[in-house]
Amino acid sequence: MSEEQQAGNEPQFLIQRIYTKDLSFESPNAPQVFVENWTPEVNVGIKTDIQTVGEDTYEVVLTVTVEARHEDHTIYLVEVHQAGIFLARNIPDEQLRPLLGIGGPNALLPYVREIISDLTTRGTFPPFLLQPVNFEAMYAQQMAQEQGTTESAPESQPH
Protein backbone atom coordinates (compact mmCIF):
# COMPACT_ATOMS: atom_id res chain seq x y z
CA MET A 1 0.00 0.00 0.00
CA SER A 2 1.42 3.40 -0.96
CA GLU A 3 1.90 6.22 1.53
CA GLU A 4 -0.85 8.16 -0.22
CA GLN A 5 -3.35 5.33 0.30
CA GLN A 6 -2.34 4.95 3.95
CA ALA A 7 -2.72 8.69 4.53
CA GLY A 8 -6.24 8.48 3.07
CA ASN A 9 -7.30 6.19 5.93
CA GLU A 10 -5.76 8.26 8.73
CA PRO A 11 -8.16 10.13 11.02
CA GLN A 12 -8.27 13.83 10.17
CA PHE A 13 -9.72 16.72 12.14
CA LEU A 14 -9.02 19.94 10.30
CA ILE A 15 -10.26 23.51 10.58
CA GLN A 16 -11.60 24.59 7.20
CA ARG A 17 -12.75 28.06 8.23
CA ILE A 18 -13.43 30.12 11.36
CA TYR A 19 -15.87 33.00 11.11
CA THR A 20 -18.13 35.25 13.12
CA LYS A 21 -21.70 34.23 12.34
CA ASP A 22 -23.44 36.89 14.44
CA LEU A 23 -22.55 39.40 17.11
CA SER A 24 -24.23 42.17 19.00
CA PHE A 25 -23.39 44.75 21.61
CA GLU A 26 -26.01 46.71 23.50
CA SER A 27 -25.75 49.37 26.16
CA PRO A 28 -29.44 50.13 26.60
CA ASN A 29 -29.01 52.52 29.53
CA ALA A 30 -26.31 54.72 28.05
CA PRO A 31 -25.52 57.49 28.65
CA GLN A 32 -26.89 57.27 32.19
CA VAL A 33 -24.59 54.34 33.08
CA PHE A 34 -21.57 56.55 32.39
CA VAL A 35 -22.51 59.17 34.99
CA GLU A 36 -23.46 56.81 37.83
CA ASN A 37 -21.31 54.75 40.14
CA TRP A 38 -22.08 51.08 39.73
CA THR A 39 -20.63 47.70 40.40
CA PRO A 40 -21.88 45.24 37.80
CA GLU A 41 -22.93 41.68 38.33
CA VAL A 42 -21.75 39.81 35.24
CA ASN A 43 -23.45 36.67 33.96
CA VAL A 44 -21.98 34.50 31.22
CA GLY A 45 -23.91 31.96 29.18
CA ILE A 46 -22.22 29.47 26.87
CA LYS A 47 -23.70 26.97 24.45
CA THR A 48 -22.60 25.03 21.41
CA ASP A 49 -24.43 23.76 18.38
CA ILE A 50 -23.20 21.25 15.79
CA GLN A 51 -24.64 20.81 12.31
CA THR A 52 -23.62 18.58 9.42
CA VAL A 53 -22.90 20.70 6.34
CA GLY A 54 -21.55 18.05 3.99
CA GLU A 55 -19.81 14.72 3.84
CA ASP A 56 -17.33 14.64 6.75
CA THR A 57 -17.88 18.41 7.18
CA TYR A 58 -19.47 20.01 10.24
CA GLU A 59 -20.26 23.48 11.48
CA VAL A 60 -19.67 24.11 15.18
CA VAL A 61 -21.16 27.32 16.60
CA LEU A 62 -20.04 28.59 19.98
CA THR A 63 -22.47 31.14 21.40
CA VAL A 64 -21.36 33.24 24.33
CA THR A 65 -23.57 35.82 26.02
CA VAL A 66 -22.19 38.26 28.58
CA GLU A 67 -24.58 40.49 30.49
CA ALA A 68 -23.43 43.10 32.99
CA ARG A 69 -26.21 44.31 35.28
CA HIS A 70 -26.49 46.73 38.15
CA GLU A 71 -29.64 46.38 40.24
CA ASP A 72 -32.40 46.03 37.66
CA HIS A 73 -30.53 47.79 34.82
CA THR A 74 -28.51 46.24 32.04
CA ILE A 75 -25.15 47.95 31.77
CA TYR A 76 -24.17 46.07 28.61
CA LEU A 77 -25.08 42.91 26.77
CA VAL A 78 -22.70 41.15 24.37
CA GLU A 79 -23.59 38.10 22.32
CA VAL A 80 -21.20 36.37 19.93
CA HIS A 81 -21.91 33.42 17.66
CA GLN A 82 -18.47 32.25 16.56
CA ALA A 83 -18.47 29.40 14.08
CA GLY A 84 -16.08 27.03 12.45
CA ILE A 85 -16.29 24.55 9.63
CA PHE A 86 -14.40 21.39 10.50
CA LEU A 87 -13.43 18.42 8.39
CA ALA A 88 -13.66 15.19 10.40
CA ARG A 89 -12.67 12.26 8.21
CA ASN A 90 -12.10 8.64 9.23
CA ILE A 91 -13.13 9.36 12.81
CA PRO A 92 -15.03 6.50 14.52
CA ASP A 93 -18.64 7.47 15.33
CA GLU A 94 -18.10 7.13 19.09
CA GLN A 95 -15.23 9.66 18.89
CA LEU A 96 -16.79 12.11 16.43
CA ARG A 97 -19.34 13.76 18.70
CA PRO A 98 -16.88 14.37 21.58
CA LEU A 99 -14.30 15.68 19.11
CA LEU A 100 -16.77 18.18 17.67
CA GLY A 101 -18.31 19.00 21.07
CA ILE A 102 -14.98 19.59 22.83
CA GLY A 103 -12.32 20.22 20.17
CA GLY A 104 -14.48 22.52 18.05
CA PRO A 105 -15.40 24.96 20.84
CA ASN A 106 -11.81 24.91 22.14
CA ALA A 107 -10.63 26.09 18.70
CA LEU A 108 -13.27 28.86 18.63
CA LEU A 109 -12.86 30.19 22.18
CA PRO A 110 -9.81 32.44 21.57
CA TYR A 111 -11.72 34.28 18.84
CA VAL A 112 -14.74 34.78 21.10
CA ARG A 113 -12.54 36.05 23.94
CA GLU A 114 -10.96 38.65 21.64
CA ILE A 115 -14.29 39.81 20.21
CA ILE A 116 -15.92 40.21 23.63
CA SER A 117 -12.94 42.11 25.02
CA ASP A 118 -12.89 44.35 21.95
CA LEU A 119 -16.62 45.06 22.00
CA THR A 120 -16.70 45.98 25.71
CA THR A 121 -13.70 48.25 25.21
CA ARG A 122 -15.32 49.93 22.20
CA GLY A 123 -18.37 50.51 24.39
CA THR A 124 -15.95 52.38 26.73
CA PHE A 125 -16.31 49.77 29.45
CA PRO A 126 -13.40 47.90 31.00
CA PRO A 127 -12.45 44.96 28.77
CA PHE A 128 -14.22 41.77 29.77
CA LEU A 129 -11.81 38.84 29.73
CA LEU A 130 -13.66 35.57 29.32
CA GLN A 131 -12.05 32.95 31.52
CA PRO A 132 -10.95 29.56 30.14
CA VAL A 133 -13.83 27.14 29.66
CA ASN A 134 -13.74 23.42 30.40
CA PHE A 135 -15.61 22.15 27.35
CA GLU A 136 -14.89 18.56 28.35
CA ALA A 137 -16.88 19.03 31.57
CA MET A 138 -19.65 20.86 29.69
CA TYR A 139 -19.84 18.02 27.18
CA ALA A 140 -19.96 15.39 29.95
CA GLN A 141 -22.76 17.30 31.68
CA GLN A 142 -24.70 17.57 28.42
CA MET A 143 -24.31 13.83 27.79
CA ALA A 144 -25.48 13.04 31.33
CA GLN A 145 -28.55 15.25 30.83
CA GLU A 146 -29.35 13.57 27.51
CA GLN A 147 -28.99 10.12 29.05
CA GLY A 148 -31.22 11.14 31.94
CA THR A 149 -33.82 12.37 29.47
CA THR A 150 -33.51 9.22 27.39
CA GLU A 151 -33.70 6.94 30.41
CA SER A 152 -36.66 8.75 31.94
CA ALA A 153 -38.60 8.93 28.66
CA PRO A 154 -39.81 5.30 28.73
CA GLU A 155 -40.98 5.73 32.35
CA SER A 156 -43.24 8.58 31.30
CA GLN A 157 -44.93 6.42 28.68
CA PRO A 158 -48.29 4.85 29.65
CA HIS A 159 -47.98 1.14 30.56
Over residues 87-139, the pLDDT tens digits come to 999 999 899 999 999 999 999 999 999 999 999 999 999 999 999 999 999 99
Residue 18, C-beta contacts closer than 8 angstroms, at least 6 positions apart: 82, 83, 84, 107, 108, 111
Does the pLDDT value for residue 16 go beyond 70? yes
Find out if CATH 3.10.420.10 is the number for domain 11-130. yes
Does the pLDDT value for residue 33 go beyond 60? yes
pTM of the predicted structure, to 2 decimals? 0.84
The pLDDT of residue 36: 87
Residue 102, C-beta contacts closer than 8 angstroms, at least 6 positions apart: 135, 136, 139
pLDDT in tens, 38-91: 888 999 999 999 999 999 999 999 999 999 999 889 999 999 999 999 999 999
Does the pLDDT value for residue 157 go beyond 60? no
Q: What is the 3-state secondary structure (H, E, C) of 69-137?
A: EECCEEEEEEEEEEEEEEEEECCCHHHHHHHHHHHHHHHHHHHHHHHHHHHHHHCCCCCCCCCCCCHHH
Pick from 77, 72, 66: which is nearest to 38 by CA?
72
